């Protein structure tokens, strides 16, 4: 197998990190919704934590994407 093909496969494998990000983001919003529907009064106070959790989760998936880009373009 030549190096170029191995690079392509490696970049594809690195994108599997998005699986974890998907599960994490689903968890964040799912837990927020189930909590917010049980206690709608407290929902508004937790939007900061919701957005923070969403951004932190999304970032872990994007780290995988950065690894893929580094493999492809360097």
Write out the residues near another protein by the rule CB under 8 A. 48, 51-52, 54-56, 58-59, 62-63, 65-66, 69, 73
Nearer to another protein, 36 or 50 (CB): 50
Nearer to another protein, 29 or 58 (CB): 58
33 within 8 A of 50, measured Cβ to Cβ: no
Nearer to another protein, 18 or 36 (CB): 18
DSSP-derived 3-state class of residue 56? helix
Q: How many CB atoms lie within 10 A of CB 30?
A: 10
């Amino acid at each position: 197998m030549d190096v170029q093909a191995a690079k392509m496969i490696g970049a594809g494998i690195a994108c599997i990190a998005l699986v974890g990000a998907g599960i994490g983001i689903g968890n964040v919003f799912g837990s927020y919704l189930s909590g917010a529907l049980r206690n709608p009064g407290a929902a508004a106070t937790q939007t900061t934590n919701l957005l923070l959790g969403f951004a932190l989760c999304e970032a872990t998936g994007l780290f995988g994407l950065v690894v893929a880009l580094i493999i492809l373009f360097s």
